[in-house]
Amino acid sequence: MRVICKKSMIGSDVRCPICGQGFVVFWQGRVQARQLEKKLVLQSLRMQHENGSNGAEVHPAAAFDVPIWDGAALGDAVSQQNSAAVGR
C-alpha cells in the first residue's frame, strides 16, 4: 500500500492537527484499510512538527510518501486498534 500527501490551499482530505495545513491524500490499497491509514497520515503530519515549530513550513512543499504498514503489520495494527476499542 502507498499513501502520498500533497499540500493543498483549496480542498483537503486531511488537515494537520498541529498547524491546520490541508493535504490532498492519494490512496493506493484497500478501502477497508483507509481509516487506519488516515490515522497514520495524521500521526506522520504530527511527527513533522517534532522540531518544535507549529507552522506549516515544516511540511514538504512537494508531494511526499507517508510510511504506511503493509500486509501482516497492517492486520496486526487493526487487531490492536480493535482490541483497544473493546477494552474501553
Per-residue pLDDT tens digits for 4-55: 999 999 989 999 999 999 999 998 767 767 777 888 889 999 999 998 889 9
Edge-to-edge strand order for the sheet containing 64-66? 14-15, 22-28, 2-8, 64-66
CA–CA gap between residue 69 and residue 26 (Å, rounded): 16
Q: How confident is the model at residue 81 (pLDDT cuts 50, 70, 90)?
A: very low
Model confidence over 58-69: pLDDT tens digits? Answer: 999 999 888 765
Count the helices and strands in the chain (H runs, E runs). Answer: 2, 4
- Whole-model pTM? 0.66
Q: Tell me what pLDDT residue 39 has.
A: 86
CA–CA gap between residue 74 and residue 6 (Å, rounded): 23
